[in-house]
Structure 1
Amino acid sequence: MVRDRFLEILRCLYFSHVTQSNTNNTQPSTTRQAPCSFTEKIDEIVFYFNNKMAQIYYSNQELSIDESMFLWRGRLRFHQYFKGKRHKFEVKLYSLNEPDGLTSKFKIYAGAGDETVGLGHTEMVVMLLLNRLLNNGHSVFMNNYYNSFSLASKLLHMNTYCTGTLRRNRKCNPKETENAKLKKGETTGKYAEGVLIGKWRDKRDVMYI
């Protein structure tokens, strides 16, 4: 298919409401994203992609989890608003990615109507993206938006390892590590229950786990 034809189809793409007559699916329902009134038109597409990738592709040992935003100019109940950005309305995606950049699973964040909304949101997102891959020795790299001692400990008990930066205000961060005064290039850290939380000094302090 040539590019212009693809763009024509893309401009006309429309998703209708799923009816009972076309929701019959023989695949296990345990992998399906919980129904959300905000995203019900595309839940089947998301489920199909995630399920098909799980069937045909086995993930590398090392993975990364990240969020991405894409511009949305139309009406949408769950877009994100960013006052300081040139494009103020965007839709957030959470994705599980391979080292070469391939996305093997993703989730659309539906705002107030999302199944993971509330306390512990980021931890629930991570567990949802990894639910098929736990207890297989994978190593997951994430930024400080996701990482916490609680999450690292939970993953460790499921034979899954995480690495990344860490926010200073996370619960269970060791105070002696948080408050340590370091010179450039120095590092310090503390182990607890098999998890290392440390701090490294560059131009500024960087917490890591």
Structure 2
Amino acid sequence: MLMGLPNFPTIESYWISDPLYYHELFQKLPIKYHRFALLLRCWHFQDNSISGINHLSKINPLLKLIRKNMNNIYAPGDTIVIDETMVPFRDRLKFPQYNPSKAHKYGIKLYKLCTLHGYAWDVKIYDGQGQRLAELDLLGSTVIELVKPFLDDGRLVITDNYYTSIDLAKYLYDRKTNLLGTIRKNRIDLPRDLINYKLRKGKVVFKQNDYITFIKWKDQ
């Protein structure tokens, strides 16, 4: 965890006494570099005989512990946010992602449930696998997996156009949960007259459905 504070080029750099890499946190480490490197190389969180369930089987015990502690530290309010982030990683892996729009284009994708203040209450690692609900696509199912502890409680879920869909709005509405988010024009079931509506700058148009209110502002 301390290594996440200073950004040194290699792990060995944290043990180097060169003034270029001096940091007071690492001057009295209770373990030598070679010992640390050996432990890191052999570090396991799961019995080798228990494998093949999914790509994350080896680290699932650690992930469960981390997520449990994240949940216990802070309680979200009435509004929760779904987002994703990319952890930079270019080594051998079965489920790397490439996203040119991210600051780190190659790496491991994390789906996150966050509070309005930016606290990550829960995370889900995208490993190329996942269970899909019958009513939703894979992204919608991921959203439901993250917000499941807060359904049927009148909360508001905020998503961007990567997740937002009519089916997700319907599902959340049936579970007494509201959805707020932008939506892409090519999503199915969008009102055709709303998609084709031409707006003057600053003009707003509302379209009310049984359970959905569409707001089109400017040309979004």
TM-score normalised by the shorter chain: which range applies?
0.7 to 0.9
Query: Paired residue for 1:60?
Result: 77
Query: Paired residue for 2:217?
Result: 200
Counterpart contact for 1:15–1:41, Cα < 8 Å: no
Tell me the amino acid that sits aligned with residue 16 of structure 1.
H
Query: Paired residue for 1:27?
Result: none
Distance (Å, rounded) in 2 between the aligned partners of 1:102 and 1:85: 20
**Could you say what secondary structure the match of 2:200 adopts?**
coil
Mean Cα deviation higher: 85-94 or 163-172: 85-94
**Could you say what secondary structure the match of 2:57 adopts?**
coil
Task: Specify whether residues 169 and 101 from structure 1 end up closer, same or farther in structure 2 by C-alpha distance, changes over 3 A only.
Answer: same
Unaligned residue ranges in structure 2 (runs of 5+): 3-23
Counterpart contact for 1:141–1:162, Cα < 8 Å: yes
> Does the alignment pair 1:76 with 2:104?
no
Task: Specify whether residues 84 and 197 from structure 1 end up closer, same or farther in structure 2 by C-alpha distance, changes over 3 A only.
Answer: closer
Greater RCO (Cα-Cα under 8 Å, separation 6 or more): 1
Task: Specify whether residues 141 and 88 from structure 1 end up closer, same or farther in structure 2 by C-alpha distance, changes over 3 A only.
Answer: closer
Task: Specify whether residues 153 and 84 from structure 1 end up closer, same or farther in structure 2 by C-alpha distance, changes over 3 A only.
Answer: closer
> Does the alignment pair 1:114 with 2:142?
no
Counterpart contact for 1:142–1:164, Cα < 8 Å: yes
Query: Paired residue for 1:31?
Result: none
Distance (Å, rounded) in 2 between the aligned partners of 1:134 and 1:117: 15
Q: After superposition, what is the alpha-carbon deviation per residue over 1:117-156, rounded to whole angstroms, capped at 9, x for unaligned?
A: 9970110010000111101111111100011111112111
Counterpart contact for 1:16–1:41, Cα < 8 Å: yes
**Could you say what secondary structure the match of 1:51 adopts?**
helix
Q: Provide the aligned length of Structure 1 versus Structure 2.
A: 189
**Could you say what secondary structure the match of 2:150 adopts?**
coil
Please give the root-mean-square deviation of Cα atoms over the aligned residues, in Å. Answer: 3.2
Query: Paired residue for 1:178?
Result: 195
Identity %: 30
Query: Paired residue for 2:185?
Result: 168
Mean Cα deviation higher: 117-126 or 36-45: 117-126
TM-score (norm 2): 0.74
Distance (Å, rounded) in 1 between the aligned partners of 2:103 and 2:161: 25
Tell me the amino acid that sits aligned with residue 77 of structure 1.
K
Tell me the amino acid that sits aligned with residue 144 of structure 1.
N
> Which of 114, 122, 129 is the equivalent residue of 1:105?
122
TM-score (norm 1): 0.77
> Which of 134, 138, 159 is the equivalent residue of 2:155?
138
**Could you say what secondary structure the match of 2:170 adopts?**
helix
Counterpart contact for 2:70–2:120, Cα < 8 Å: no
Tell me the amino acid that sits aligned with residue 149 of structure 2.
R
Distance (Å, rounded) in 1 between the aligned partners of 2:103 and 2:181: 29
Unaligned residue ranges in structure 1 (runs of 5+): 24-34
